[in-house]
Amino acid sequence: MSPKFESKIGSKEPKNRQNLSYARGLLDKLFQVGVTDLYTKIALSVVKHLGIQVSSLHLDSTSFHVDGEYEGLLGQGEGRIQIVPGYSRDHRPDLNQVVLQLITSNQGNIPLFMQAASGNSSDKSAFAEIVQQHLASFQAAVNNRYLVGDSALYTPDSIAAVVAAKGLFVTRVPMQINEAKEAIDQTVRSEMTPLGEGYYAKEEISSYAGVEQRWVVVFSQAAYDRECKTLIKNSKKGLEKESKAFEKLETELFSCPKDAEKHLKKFEQTLKYTKLMSAEIIEVKKHATVGRPKKNVQPLTVGYQIVGKIDYSPEKRQDLERRKGFFILATNDLDSQAFPGIEVLKTYKSQQSVERGFRFLKSPDFLVSSFFLKKPERIEGLLMVMTLCLLVYSALEHKVRQKLRETGEYFPDQLRKPSQNPTSRWIFFCFLGLHVVILNGLKRQVTNLKDRHRTILYCLGPPYQKFYYSERW
């Protein structure tokens, strides 16, 4: 147990110590049963009970900080996640962390799959393993048509695994791929098809990694405006950074002109915001002796230096601007009539469902953005409990929204405007003002019930209505 955790718990009463011991034992038992398989069975039962039709699954991962001292990799043993420093999304690579991999449904944002992973795990290799081991099972269980992911899913192993499972993927193409850069460079914005809401698209066929697929080159006006604003800030910083780098290069002494020219060309290739206005290589001469040289004594050449001028490049700025707002979506569904570009875009944008789940788990209201458990087994168990909380949260939200649409009822949002898409967080907040009055130790009455509360209770059904309207516990 970490000292930080002991400081919080050490002064509590014995009853709380017993609760803590019980919680530890429960987390250990969850690990022994197998958190991933157990959670998947529960989630699939919820989807079946709610009657959710799943057309696409969304795969992503996130990391959580882990506080405390941990044994080395050998001491932690096999069959468990490894608590090690890894790639930190919070720019703190020194922190120990664990990774949670999640698959959610497009309808209802229901988390269907969770798996804990070591802090230094790679999304690219991990996603390929998940696809190989679980995609076929999910297709049989929920009959989903598409698997959706960000650019980490677009690897030869992952897309080959989707094809082997006779599935379809929709994913973003990494811009590090040369073919992707060429596709955007060859795209003329005026020749793209408008999709509405500021989106434009152009399609082409690709055979990346030996898989025949459609590439939908998308331009977003909103993304373009946002990225151009960022470019203005980066250009100012880039000019200062590249100018300082050139000043440092001018102080270096080279043994020959070819060596200086080689470094100059290499430096020029790194310039992103500026260009060399002038540059030349000069000899650096010094006398062999200290002090005033004797008459007619020629200085010795001791090296060569680069001198010149560097300045801001409008041409490079325009070239960078021209590439802004573009991204490429890939799918192996080649039927452009049944699955046109606009549907490809909508399917990919549903990836926000898993991102919303991560925001819930990392919300300050949830208070588990970092862990204070020492044993990796208990961390895996806690990740399952957290995901179960997300499951309840998402299921309740889906049920309320569905019932509101079926009945034509509305629930006031934060601006007191009628809405049929309230979040569970807002619903919980609205129920904070209720109180229970106990009469004669037997009867009870819930006070401060308003129309908005009754609307939600009606959507949730008799179990909830019984609790709020019943006269007895």
Q: Return the structure tokens found at 285.
A: 């001469």
Distant-in-sequence contacts of 314-317, Cβ < 8 A, 24+ apart: 315/275, 316/271, 316/272, 316/273, 316/274, 316/275, 317/231, 317/235, 317/273
| CA pair distance 76, 72, nearest whole angstrom | 6
Distances (CA, A) of 135 to 124, 127, 144, 365: 16, 11, 10, 33
Q: What are the boundaries of each domain within the chain? A: 3-150+351-395, 240-321, 401-469
Tokens of 16: 């709380």
pTM of the model: 0.81
- Three-class SS state of 195: strand
Which is nearest to 96 in space by CA: 78, 108, 84?
A: 84
Could you tell me if 338 and 32 are in contact, meaning their C-beta atoms sit under 8 angstroms apart? no
Q: At what angle do helices 123-142 and 156-164 cross, to 10 degrees?
A: 20
Write out residues in the chain with pLDDT < 50, as ranges: 1-12, 72-77, 472-473
Q: Quote the strand ranges of 221-344, DSSP E.
A: 274-286, 300-312, 326-331
Q: Closest Cα to residue 422, out of 410, 433, 434? A: 410
Q: For residue 172, which of 234, 134, 127, 137 has the smallest C-alpha distance?
A: 127
Cα distances from 233 to residues 222, 246, 264, 291, in angstroms, run 18, 20, 27, 50
- Strand spans (E) along 122-212: 146-149, 168-172, 193-196, 199-206
User: Is 411:62 a contact under the CB 8 Å cutoff?
Assistant: no
Q: Strands 168-172 and 146-149, how do they pair?
A: parallel
**Identity of residue 162:** V
- HSE-up (13 A, CA, CB side) for residue 79: 6
pLDDT in tens, 357-407: 888 888 877 655 556 677 788 888 989 999 999 999 999 999 999 999 999
Question: 114 by DSSP, 3-state: which?
Answer: strand
Alpha helices by DSSP H, listed for 143-169, are: 156-164
- The CA distance from 369 to 77, in Å, is 25
Bridge-based pairing of strands 96-105 and 300-312 is unpaired
pLDDT of residue 13: 53
Q: What pLDDT, on the 0 to 100 scale, is given for residue 5?
A: 34
Q: How many residues does the chain have?
A: 473
pLDDT for 61: 92
Measured between alpha carbons, how far is residue 89 from residues 122, 170, 348 in Å? 13, 24, 22
Report yes or no: 356 and 109 within 8 Å, Cβ to Cβ. yes
Q: Please state whether beta strands 370-371 and 56-66 pair in parallel, antiparallel, or not at all (unpaired).
A: parallel
Q: Token pair for residue 347?
A: 């399917």
Return all residues near 382 (Cβ < 8 A) that are at least 6 apart.
27, 368, 371, 373
Q: Which residue has the tokens 């698959």?
A: 103
Neighbour count for residue 56 (Cβ, 10 Å): 22
Model confidence pLDDT, tens digit, residues 251-299? 999 989 999 999 999 999 999 999 999 999 998 888 777 777 777 777 7
Owner of token pair 């309740």:
396
Name which of 122, 193, 109 is nearest 151 in CA terms.
122
**168 contact partners, CB below 8 Å, separation of at least 6:** 145, 146, 147, 162, 331, 332, 333
